Amino acid sequence: MTWKLKLIGLIGSVGWPATIAVAQAPDCNDNGVPDEIDLAGKIYWVDRGTQRIQRADLDGSNIEDLISGLPSPDGLTVDTAAGKMYWTDFDGTSRIRRADLDGSNLEDLITMNLADPRNIALDPAAGKMYWGNSGTIQRANLLDGSNIEVLVPGSMSLIETFGIALDLAAGKMYWTESVLFKIQRADLDGSNVEDLVMGLDGPAGIALDPSTGKMYWVDGKKIRRADLNGSNVEDLVTGLGAPVGITLDLAAGKVYWTDLTAKKIQRANLDGTNVENLVNAGLMMPFGIALAPPSPDTDGDGVMDECDGCPNDPNKTLPGICGCGVADTDTDGDGVPDCFDQCPNDPAKIAPGFCGCGTPDSLDDGDGDGVIDCLDNCPTTANADQADSDGNGVGDVCEPPPAGQTTTGACGCGSGIDGMMVMPMTLLGIGWMRRRSRWRIEA
C-alpha cells in the first residue's frame, strides 16, 4: 500500500501545516498506476471529434475519460514504467504534451517550432522522444522537451510523415510517408534513410514486432504487415473503413487499431483472424492508439512479477526464512521452521542427537550394561552384547523362547527335533522301503 501526505490546512495562530496520511490504491512499483490497472492492462486512444483521451480494459470495457478539451489530439504513446502518456496536438496549437496515465499532471513539453506533429515514439532508456513534424523526423529530451534535433529533414522524398515506430535493439526508426505512399526507415540518428515499401494506398499508423522481424501498418482500408526489410507484404484485414492508429499486444498475439469512419476500436489476432469490435459507441474521430499490456503475474497470486519476490510461488511474495517454493511452516511450534528443523514433529529438539527425534537425549543406563537406555534393545536387563537374533529390535534376553521349548537342544530353538534323533529314524525308513520293494517283486 502506498501512502501520501497531503496538506489540508493550517493549525493555530502559528500556522503549522496540518497533514494527514491518505491511503492510495496499491502501487507496488511506484509508477503512479494502481496495481490492478497494471495487472489488467489498458488501451488508450485519442478522439479528435470529442477532443478527449480515453482508456478502457483490453476487451473494450470500463471506458474512462482521462483528459477533455484538447484542441486536436493526434498521436499517442505510453510509458508504463514511468506511469506517463505522451501525445501530439495537431493543427492550430501544434504542441507535444504529457500527463500521468490517469490524466492528471498535464504538462506542455514542446510548444514552439512545431508545424504539424503527428505520431510519437519513445526511447525511455536513452531519455528521448521521436516524432514526425510535417516533412521531418525530430527528437528531443524525454524529461522536459529540450534539445530538439532535426534527424531527417524534409525533401522531395519525405514530404509528410504520419506514423513512427522504433526498433531500439537494432537502432532503427520506421515511419510512414502519407504523400508519397511509402514506408521508410533510418538509423536513430537519422542517417542511412531507406525506402522499404512503395506504392501503398494510404499508410498511416505503424507498429513493430522485432522479435519476429515484422512490421504492421494501416494502409487505406487494410491492416498489413511485412518483414522489417519491406519484403513479404501481406494483407491481414481488409474491407475496413479508414483505419488510422495501430498498436500491438505481442504477449497476447493481438493487433489493435482505430477506424476513423467506422468510429470503432477493433482488434484481431496477429495473423488477421478473429476480428473483434471493442468500442463501437460514443466515438467520433478515434485517431492515435496505445497499449499498456498487462504486467506479468506468473504465479497468479495477484502480485505482478516485478513486485513479487517469489514470482513462481503463488503462496509467497517474499522468500521468507525458507525461500521461495518452501512454506515457512513450524509444525511442532518450537520457533524453528520445518525447513531448518531436523525434528519437525518434536518441539523439544531441532536435531536427532544421539537418541533420535521424539526421545530426549539422556545418559541413563538403567540395567548398567554400558548401553544407554535410549539405544539399549533391552533396557531392563543387562545385555552388553545387544544380541538380537531375529533382528526385530528387541534384545534376545528380553524375548521368551518359542512356545513349547524351554531349552535350545542340539539343533537350537525352533528346530523341533535334534539331529541325534533324525539319523536312526532315517535309517529305519530306508530299510522299510527296501523290504516293501522286495515284496512287490516276489508277488
Flag whether 311 is in a domain.
no
Residue 102 domain flag: yes
Beta bridge partner(s), residue 117: 133
Q: In CATH, what number is assigned to the domain containing residue 230?
A: 2.120.10.30
Task: Tell me whether residue 342 is in a domain.
Answer: no
Whole-angstrom CA distances from 163 to 52, 137, 289 are 20, 11, 11
Q: Is residue 201 part of a domain?
A: yes
Query: Is residue 240 a contact partner of residue 259, using CB atoms and an 8 Å limit?
Result: yes
Q: Would 227 be classed as within a structural domain?
A: yes
Is beta strand 182-187 parallel, antiparallel or unpaired with respect to 214-219? unpaired
Domain containing 228 equals 30-292
pLDDT in tens, 323-376: 999 999 999 999 999 999 999 998 998 999 888 898 898 888 788 888 887 887
Q: How would DSSP label each residue in 367-419?
A: T-SSS-GGG-SSTTS--TT---TT-SSS-GGGSPPPTT-SS-TTT-TT--S-H
Q: Confirm if 372 and 363 have CB atoms less than 8 A apart.
A: yes
Check residue 400 and give its pLDDT. 80
As a dihedral over the C-alpha atoms of residue 229, residue 231, residue 236, residue 241, rounded to 10 degrees, the angle is 80
Q: State the pLDDT at residue 393.
A: 83
435 in a structural domain: no
pLDDT of residue 244: 97
Q: What is the pLDDT of residue 304?
A: 78
Number of domains forming the structure of the chain: 1
Query: Residue 122: which H helix or E strand, with range?
Result: strand 117-123
Task: Give the pLDDT confidence score for residue 28 in this predicted structure.
Answer: 74
Distances in Å between the Cα of 105 and the Cα atoms of 25, 100, 122, 223, 423 are 18, 6, 19, 35, 112
- Using 70 as the pLDDT threshold, list the residues of the chain that sit under it: 1-26, 29, 31-33, 35-40, 92, 402-443
What cell was used for 291?
497499449
Alpha-carbon radius of gyration of the chain? 42
What is the rounded distance in angstroms from the CA atom of residue 85 to the CA atom of residue 37? 15
Asked whether residue 240 is domain-assigned, the answer is: yes
Residue 329 placed within a domain? no
Task: State how far the alpha carbon of 103 is from the alpha carbons of 44, 363, 379, in Å.
Answer: 11, 76, 81
